[in-house]
Structure formats: C-alpha cells, structure tokens
Structure 1
Amino acid sequence: MTTWMPLPSLQEVVGPRYRAVEAPVRGGTMHVGVWEPEGVPTKEVPTVVAVHGITSSHVAWPLLAAALPDVRVVAPDLRGRGRSRDLPGPYGMPSHADDVAAVLDHLDVESAVVVGHSMGGFVSLVLADRHPGRVRSLVLVDGGLPLLPPPGVAPDALAGAVLGPVADRLAMTFADRDAYRRFWREHPAIGREWTDLTDAYVDYDLVEVDGALRPATRVEALQEDIRELVDGDSVARALQHRRHPTTWLVAPRGLMDEVPPLYPQPAREHWLAAYPDLPPVDVEDVNHYTIVMLQRGIDQVVPHVRAALSL
C-alpha cells in the first residue's frame, strides 16, 4: 500500500495557477498537474501537454508552466510513477499514450502541442501516431529518438548501462526525507545546482510503501518501459509514420552530467540521415535533467514551444 507524504515544498514552486486533477484512465485515475492562465476564456486557451521522463513526475515542469503564463499546461504523472504509482500495468509507450489521450478527454482539450522529455518524448511520438487528431505539433526534449548501442553492445546491455543507476535507486529505501535529499544532493547531474524546484521534485518522489520510504516509480514499470527506448516497435512505427511538425532538442551532457550525452554525435548523424527534416537542436550548458529543471534550460526550450504553438 502506498502512502503519500505531506508536501510543504510543492505549493511554493507550482504557483497560484496550479491545480491537481484526477483523470479517469484504465484501472483507476491518473494524477495530473494543470496550470491555467488567469483571465482568459477557457475555450480560447492553447494547451501544452508536458510528458515527463522514465522515473520522473509532473513536478519536473513548473518552470515551463511559469514561462508560459498565457498557456494551459497539462502534466500527468505517468502510469506507475508519482501519484499515478498505483495504476496497474501493462505499461509501455502505447499504454502511456492512451493514458495521455484519456487525460485530454477528461479536460475537454481537443488538441495540444506535446512536449516530451526523455521517455516522455517516446510517449509523445506514440501519442501522435495513435491519436493524431489530439496533437498539433511535437517538441522532443532529449528523448524520442531510439538510443543506439555502440558497436558490439547488445540493446539489453545499452538499456542497463544508460539507466542502471536509475534502477539501483528504485531498489533503495531511505530513513526519512532528509536522507533522500542527501542522496540527490550527491547526484552529479542535479546536486551541484540545487534549487527550490529540486526540493519539491525530490520530496514529491518519496513515498511510503508497506512501511518503507522509497522512490515513487515502480521497478516493474521501469523494466517494462526501458527496452522500448532502444528498439520499441511502437516508437519505430510512430517515427516512420510521423505527420506532425516536430522539433528535437538535445543536451550536451547525460543523466550523470557526463560526456558523451544520451545522443552522441554518431547517433545525431544517424537519425539526421534517416529523418532529414528532424535535425538535432543543441541546448547549451545543460544535462539531461537540467534541460527542463534549470531556468537556463527552460529559457532555451520555450522559444521552440512558442514556435510550435504558432503553427
């Protein structure tokens, strides 16, 4: 049984436009953060759907919402993550895509610009393929294009090498909230530039399960989703059948603030050759996390979201 902990740090970063919504999906309800612009008739408000990464939550997105004060921003906790942790499997990109479409149904949103970070980029592509009328355009943020194994490395090994530290964290338990914050403060991609958003993001991710404090993402959700980031059929089909304007943003450093990044130069060249209309766009001086969780990352992402809204 999952118990949600009090979150005094959350309201400080999400701001007054924020509300939490429970949207009906397969097997229960999905927890969704919604930022509504003030003083604008509902039907006239453009919508951005922001889809988080493989072990993240909707609390990755307050900076994006703050930078788009005239836009409705809808950010779900994906199945098996955050306050949607107890939704049952199966997981996988088609399931996540159908969940996001159900959230749009619940909010009476006809179509939206979809911004997907990390695994959220893969979800966004599959959403556009399975529910093309719900998507206006796509902004993929350091995700969406399948990860390419180096020569001699099997796909299974690549998934483990890239996300191994993430899987290790999900198996850990923590004495209290301060212990989890200390763990993240030592994380090379996040701890060096800690902000109020980091406090809220980390606090939100800690839940009590059968008396133990642990990260919210279910291990089985990670395990089911991880291979699709390398060679998932639904992702390959979505890329091949892509019909929406798409922007692909890439970070220069990876999940551990390392070089090479998630998409090294050979991967960028490979996907550019396959999809010449989808050139990688560099976001400077960020890593895989800070591209959405630091202001200098969001400042570079938002112009592309604005351009997508104008299409």
Structure 2
Amino acid sequence: MTTQSDPRARSVRTVAVPGGDLAYEVLDGDTRPVLAVHGISSHRRLWSWLHAAAPDLTLVAPDLRGRADSVDVPGPWGIACHADDLALLLDAEGLDRVPVLGMSMGGFVAVALADRHADRVESLVLVDGGFPMTPPPGLTRENVAGAFADRVGRLERRWESVDELLDYFTATTAPLLDRDDPLLRHYLEHDLHEGLVRLSGDALVGDASDIFFGQGAWQRVAQPIRFLRAEWSVGRDTPPAYAAADLGRYAAVTERTVALGGVDHAASIMSPRGAAATAELVREALG
C-alpha cells in the first residue's frame, strides 16, 4: 500500500488488486469508517457533497477499476469483481466490518460485497441503486452502450477545459446540478487528464451489462438496508430509476426507505439536499 498527500483527504492510497493498483482516499471525520462506493461513470470525488454536508463522517472512498486514478486497472469487469477488490481494500485498511454506502452502481457493488463477504459488511445504505433496475425498452447486452450515450460521449472527444466539460455534463448527465458549484468543478477535475476523461469504455459497458442482466444478490442480504430513491432519472419529470410501484417490494426488506422528491439520479447525492438526506441514513446506520 502506498500513500500520497491530498489537501482534501487524510490520505490518498493504493491497494494491490488483480491486474494493478486500486486508488482510494480516506476523508477524515469523527465517526468510525464507512466504505463509500461510487456509480458506474463516477469516481471517489462523488462523495465530496456528502463530506461537505456531514464532515463528521469518515469515508473510505475508492476509484473503482477502470475509473479516474484506477483507470489503468484492467478487467475483468462486473459487480462481483468490484466487490472482491473492495474486500482487499478493507484488508489493507485493517477494517474487519464496516457500514457500506453505495450510489447507483455502487449500490449493486455494496450488495455484492454483503453477499460475497458477509462478515465484512455491517449494514448497507443504497442511494438510487442496488435493487434490480428494469432495462429500458429494447435494451440488450449488445446495445447497452446506447443507454449511456451521454457518458460515452465524454470519451469520444478531447476537452479543452474543465469549463467545457462542465457545460456538457450539466446539459446531459446532470441537468439539475448547479453548474457553478465549486464541488462540481472539483469533481470533474478528477475526471480529466490531458484533456481526456479517465473512464474505460469497456468497464462502462461491461458493468452496465451486469447491472441490467446479471443475477443480483439483494434477496440474500441479511444485513440491515436503508434505501434512498430519487424522484426522477435525468432531469425534472423523467421516469425514475425505480418506479413508485416497486417501492413497496423493496421497502419490505429495508430498515427504512426514503423517496426523495425534487431530485434526479445525480442530485440524489451531488447536491446539498441529496447529501443531507444521505447523511441522515448513514448516521442511522452508524447508530
């Protein structure tokens, strides 16, 4: 394990996983550590909003393989592989059993970690992810990249500046976010290196296929689950990732389900309101 300095974290570190070194940082707080797992096209700075809203929380936040500082860690891709990587991270940090927080795909990884390494997971907080998502009409394993056209679009060009990427990001992926939010700039700065977004297209497609067409483990999870669901998917009045009709099904297996109105998928964590609602669930999980 190696360590390097970062003014916004206690430390930025790496842990050896099959194929390379996985990067992660520890955002210091007063609580015991919470493992925080980002979404499919995201990275560890997703949790900047949560840490700003709740600086008391101690967060252990990786860049999953194929993303940001871990972009050069190759496949195999898939939810189980990410879960096994995170078990190695917990070993490196000397953490036996932790609460796990996951957003979007990170929720699926959290569920897989709780299933595959049950003794390492104390509880789960799932933010608009982790439970089965209905594939969009016509989606197949062969055309899954089409469901993430905005993300793929980030990979197909060289960005002249963070401002240019900010304009694209808030026009496509996250239209409800504040374009002038300094945390959003900080987040997108971590995406870019020499004008290119540090996201593996193969990882994006492989992991998306696993989310929509893989065999989820949520029904086998025995640990307490708290679930936050966003009202919309991408922008106001868009169909949500989880239909209202499904909430009762998932509420039956959760300690608490929160249907957060007025936010879309990205804003469920990348906004003060979403971060505050998530922080409340994490504090409940910490007891």
Q: TM-score w.r.t. structure 1 length?
A: 0.82
The equivalent residue for 2:156 is 171
Larger radius of gyration: 1
Q: CA deviation at 1:146?
A: 1.7
Per-residue CA deviations over 1:49-89 (Å, capped at 9, x if unaligned) read 11000010100102222444444210000000010000111
CA–CA distance in 2 between the matches of 1:240 and 1:266? 18
Matches within 5 A, 1:1-311: 11=7, 14=8, 17-37=9-29, 46-149=32-135, 153-156=138-141, 159-160=144-145, 162-187=147-172, 189-190=174-175, 192-194=177-179, 195-208=181-194, 213-233=195-215, 235=216, 238-268=217-247, 271-272=249-250, 276-278=252-254, 280-310=257-287
CA contact (8 A) 1:48 1:114 kept: yes
CA–CA distance in 2 between the matches of 1:255 and 1:106? 36
Residue type matched to 1:198 in 2? L
Q: CA deviation at 1:188?
A: 6.4
Q: Which runs of 5+ in 2 are unaligned?
A: 1-5
CA–CA distance in 1 between the matches of 2:268 and 2:57? 20
Structure 1 residues 157 and 296 mapped into 2: Cα distance closer, same or farther (>3 Å)? farther
Q: CA deviation at 1:302?
A: 1.1
Q: CA deviation at 1:30?
A: 1.0
CA–CA distance in 1 between the matches of 2:247 and 2:144? 18
Q: CA deviation at 1:190?
A: 4.3
Q: CA deviation at 1:191?
A: 6.4
Q: CA deviation at 1:257?
A: 4.6
Residue type matched to 1:296 in 2? R
Structure 1 residues 169 and 267 mapped into 2: Cα distance closer, same or farther (>3 Å)? farther
The equivalent residue for 1:7 is none
CA–CA distance in 2 between the matches of 1:77 and 1:188? 19
CA–CA distance in 1 between the matches of 2:57 and 2:128? 23
CA–CA distance in 2 between the matches of 1:50 and 1:253? 23
Q: TM-score w.r.t. structure 2 length?
A: 0.88
Deviates more, 1:109-118 or 1:255-264: 255-264
Q: CA deviation at 1:266?
A: 3.7
Structure 1 residues 77 and 69 mapped into 2: Cα distance closer, same or farther (>3 Å)? same
